[in-house]
A = this chain, B = another copy of it.
Amino acid sequence: MAAKQETVSIEKYMLALGAQAKQAARVMSMATTEQKNNALETLASLLLEQQENLMRVNQLDLQAGKERGLENAMLDRLELTPQRIQAMADGLRQIATLEDLIGDIDHVTTRPSGIKVGQMRVPLGVIGIIYESRPNVTADAAGLCLKSGNAVILRGGSEAINSNKAIGDCIQQALAKAGLPKTAVQVIEVTDRAAVSELLRMDQYVSVIIPRGGKSLIERVSKEATIPVIKHLDGNCHVFIDGQADEAKAIAIAVNAKTQRYGVCNAMETLLVHIDVAAKILPALQKEYAKHDVELRGCDRTRKILSNVTAAKEEDWSAEYLAPILAIKVVDSIDDAIDHIEKYGSHHTDTIVTENDAHAQRFLREVDSSSVMLNASTRFADGFEYGLGAEIGISTDKLHARGPVGLEGLTTQKYIVFGTGNIRE
């Protein structure tokens, strides 16, 4: 009986959050830029003022996490430090400086019938965000949703519940001070997984779900949701060193794409090298990778050129290592490189290094990934580097938002028509 009662109460609790969010979304869609920026600035100040309190509450989560035997990496991500609180505040202040797109009218044309047609940029409505242990996502995601005129329901990891609630309280205070509805940002305060299941099915209230986390979270969300999902699955990124690559650029890019950071979705996981340059470039690269302790796994031809390289297995070509491991394959042509990327890639980010214009054009046009690059490191695939100001994630979907998703990805356009009494003949 107890279990059943709890399920009912979670359903009611979630439906209430949804209804409140939908009401708040209507107000948020009409909020002025000044109100929204005030809320962001106030929140930044509040987080800094509340630093001691936030860290004290965060200790409860850390203590509980230690007792539950969480790994050190997880505990590290969970921890709020003065630097991390400062970074949250800085992020919010940066969002305040970004242009407010809401209400912009584009593409206005006058039609033969006499009507004027344009498109107005408007918020999506209510956004549901599901994320894992880092509590700073609570402030970042709320900031982006707030600036884009949306309401948001936030579901963080259960291990960060006390931290997320405390940050959520600060957000609601800041909203109220700016004259905006507190319920524009709501943190789900129950840790039961049933709350997520409810959220994923509240079509009547929620416009879109954005999961941020590991592959299993995102797969579960995609499978269960009856609401559209903006998702980011694997980043199995490639660098292809063409037969007409500049050697220095090729080495710099291949080293940077693999070693600048390992645990990120835009790190290179497979290196493709044209047969014409493999014998020259691979030994030079091996020396560089050795400095970073990167383990190399190669195809047969790679292993004829380099010693001390493990044989790559079929599954290596699909792997997202997120670690100092690199798969290497020697290919005969740009066609083979594109075919390999099409077969094994995850459509995230792929780069060609070449000085040949025709090859560059073919690669940019034919590779079907959210970012395709010429002579640049895959590590640039990121909202800040692209000038979006901030990002809520990197979408590997094709519809609505593809690649880094900033404020614009959290909006939609509606058609607006100006007439003077026009009727259709």
Residues on A lying within 8 angstroms of B by beta carbon are 26, 29-30, 103, 109, 111, 113, 115, 117, 120, 122, 124-125, 207-208, 223, 226, 228, 230, 246, 248-249, 252-253, 255-257, 260, 342, 364-366, 368-377, 379-381, 385-387, 397-400, 402-404, 412-424
The answer to whether A415 and B421 touch (CB under 8 A), given A111-B386, A366-B30, is no
Query: Which residues on B sit within 8 Å (CB–CB) of A369?
Result: 414
The answer to whether A376 and B115 touch (CB under 8 A), given A256-B423, A399-B399, is yes
Query: Which residues on B sit within 8 Å (CB–CB) of A415?
Result: 370-372, 381, 386, 402-404
The answer to whether A402 and B398 touch (CB under 8 A), given A374-B419, A385-B113, is no
Chain B's closest residue to A419 (CB) is: B376
Sample (10) of A-B pairs whose CB atoms are under 8 Å apart: A26-B366, A111-B385, A117-B385, A248-B421, A253-B423, A368-B414, A374-B417, A374-B419, A380-B422, A399-B400
Chain B's closest residue to A22 (CB) is: B342
B421–A370 CB distance below 8 A:
no
A375–B420 CB distance below 8 A:
yes
Give the CA-CA distance A292 to B379 in the complex, in Å. Answer: 65
The answer to whether A380 and B113 touch (CB under 8 A), given A246-B421, A400-B400, is yes
Copies of this protein chain in the complex: 2
The answer to whether A370 and B414 touch (CB under 8 A), given A365-B103, A387-B117, A424-B256, is yes
A377–B423 CB distance below 8 A:
yes
Give the CA-CA distance A226 to B416 in the complex, in Å. Answer: 32
B414–A402 CB distance below 8 A:
yes
The answer to whether A413 and B417 touch (CB under 8 A), given A117-B387, A385-B115, is no
Residue with the highest number of chain B CB atoms closer than 10 Å, among A29, A124, A253, A386: A386
B115–A417 CB distance below 8 A:
no
Query: Which residues on B sit within 8 Å (CB–CB) of A249?
Result: 420-421
A348–chain B nearest beta-carbon distance, Å: 11
A221–chain B nearest beta-carbon distance, Å: 13
Query: Which residues on B sit within 8 Å (CB–CB) of A368?
Result: 26, 29, 122, 125, 414
A252–chain B nearest beta-carbon distance, Å: 5
Query: Which residues on B sit within 8 Å (CB–CB) of A370?
Result: 414-415
Give the CA-CA distance A371 to B415 in the complex, in Å. Answer: 5
Name the contact of A207 in the complex, choosing from B29, B374, B398 (C-beta under 8 A).
Answer: B398
A403–B414 CB distance below 8 A:
yes
Residue with the highest number of chain B CB atoms closer than 10 Å, among A113, A253, A416: A416
Query: Which residues on B sit within 8 Å (CB–CB) of A364?
Result: 120, 416
Give the CA-CA distance A83 to B141 in the complex, in Å. Answer: 55
Query: Which residues on B sit within 8 Å (CB–CB) of A253?
Result: 419, 421-423
Query: Which residues on B sit within 8 Å (CB–CB) of A385?
Result: 111, 113, 115, 117, 424
Give the CA-CA distance A246 to B386 in the complex, in Å. Answer: 49
The answer to whether A252 and B423 touch (CB under 8 A), given A369-B414, A373-B417, is yes
A234–chain B nearest beta-carbon distance, Å: 15
Closest 7 CB pairs of A and B: A376-B419, A249-B421, A256-B423, A379-B424, A373-B417, A400-B400, A399-B400
